[in-house]
Amino acid sequence: MPDASAAEERAAALIGRVLSDRYRIDAIVASGSMGAVYRGFHLLTRKEVAIKVLHPETENFPELVTRFEREAVAGAHIDHPNVASASDMGTFDQGSHFLVLELVRGHTLRDLLDREAPLRPSRALRIARQIAAGLGAAHARGIVHRDLKPLNVMVTDGPDERVKIIDFGLARVEVDQVAPMEGRAAAERVSTPGVVFGTVAYMAPEVTSGMDAIDRPSDLYSLGLILYEMLTGLHPFEHGAFHEVIAQHRDKPPPSLRDRNRAVSVPPAIEAIVMRLLEKDPAQRYPDAESLLQALDAVMPELEEASAPRAFVGQAQLPKTSRRNLALGVVGGALLVALSILLVAALRSRDDEPVAPTSATQIATASAAEPSAASPKRDLAAELRADLLAQAAKDDADGAASILVALADADPKALVDAKIRAAATKVATSIGERGGDDATQAFYALAYRFGSEGLDVLYDLSVDPAHQRAARRASAILEVQVKTGRPSAPLRIAIELKKAPCKKKALLFSRAAAEGDARVLALLEQLHPPGCDPESGACCYERHVGLEKTVEALKERAAAK
């Protein structure tokens, strides 16, 4: 496979190109070693589109090209509001393939679950119903998705939360039923016999008999896993090696929703639907998507919005190991997503053994039991902030780490306070040096729960030479965040400048001058300190006019402020 840096350069080089005289490539959405996804624009219809591109090296992987074509066929022939459509495909530059898809504005269900799970049952069922409807439309055309998972479900922005199933690249397409492909056998394989592909966390038990055994009921099993996760915030099975996870799918009954997360309360009728979807025997599941839709429609009118509200106390009462490993899985998944658009998402690690509550949990539970008449959340946040400061002052990293995680839910803007941010930095540095699951929890909270201030703390850690382990962990997370577009412009250019090799840093100077702040200035001044000798490797430049002008511009801006 191509070198990752070369692939990134190739992906960036396509911006501005026009394919087939009508599709302009405007921006990178995601990139990987074998291809990229772009936001594009149809010059004739004046409509935004998504454009997926496979690099020329895929000629050495013909099965990828075949799956690309199958995705085009599937997307072009499933006409349903809950399936992202495909409208065109072609080649360019002697071997690169492109596919034009519907541009879905929103976020993946994976992102939604990472932020907000567990969901209210009514909301979870509305999302599940749309997924089931999309699957039903695909199944009716002889198309089995075979890789249904939260990452392949888009949820559009806005209050209606429209759902779109995406990425049919691993689908099984009954070609003659959909659209005959000239010059090819209808039953042409896109996978090697005996080879299993997809995402192990969301595979149906019948995969043990090979991919040929994966059929419509297998997609419904995957939907059952997704619905279970929406309702509990947790996957029903534990992390492990591939064969261990498959064995759980095959042999281990899924725990009840309440056993998996004691903080949720789901009506029995809904749990019955989930458990039927997760039957080991495909014949015991719903016979088709239409039957599932009827079951969902039967229970939805009876739901009460308050059956399982998304409240801080629910998160706090999760066993510490469950919260810890949920965070671990989310961080691991985010890292893998950023590495490649052709990834197989890693199964999240989980454990559900009850442990004694931390001080943060005790505070949260006590506050929920006797809420303040004025503002219980504000009181809880104040207590957590005070406790974090106290624990950090005592260098009690263990206690402070769990409080930091709890504070992220109670007050996501807490790190705006300089004292709280300093305490969070101290705690993260200490726990990051030691590593382990508490560090994963704390770093996840900083990356995803505290907004831009949490990312700022991670950057402070990443440039701390005295704590190399914490710095490496923070740097790895920040590199992923750059690809998601979450960091502010000054932080983004600082991260990119820090990572870039000397020969490429100069390419970033113009952006550094326009977007940089004190962090960027500090990095630039390290590139040519007094007595700099580039041959020693201690700096990049003995003299560089562009660098000097950039430093001067940043100093002038700082002085003006």
List, by residue number, the catalytic residues: 147
Quote the tokens at residue 1: 């496979």
CB 442 within 8 A of CB 320: no
Task: Please list the residues that pair with 35 across neighbouring strands.
Answer: 54
What is the C-alpha separation between 301 and 412, in angstroms, rounded? 34
Distance CA(256)–CA(152), nearest Å, equals: 25
Cβ pair 273, 295 in contact under 8 A? yes
Residue 465: phi and psi, rounded to 5, are: -70, -15
Spatial separation of the C-alpha atoms in residues 334 and 345, rounded to whole Å: 9
DSSP letter for 58, please. G
Whole-angstrom CA distances from 272 to 267, 276, 286, 296 are 9, 6, 12, 11
Judged by DSSP in three states, 305 sits in: helix
Residue corresponding to tokens 């002052």? 393
Partners of 244 in the β-ladder = none
What are the C-alpha distances in Å from 517 to residues 53, 458, 495? Answer: 35, 16, 12
Close Cβ partners of 524 (under 8 Å, ≥ 6 residues apart): 497, 512, 516, 547, 550, 551, 554
Q: Is the dihedral of CA 109, 112, 116, 122 positive or negative?
A: negative
Task: Determine which helix (DSSP H) or strand (DSSP E) holds 209, and give its type and residue range.
Answer: none
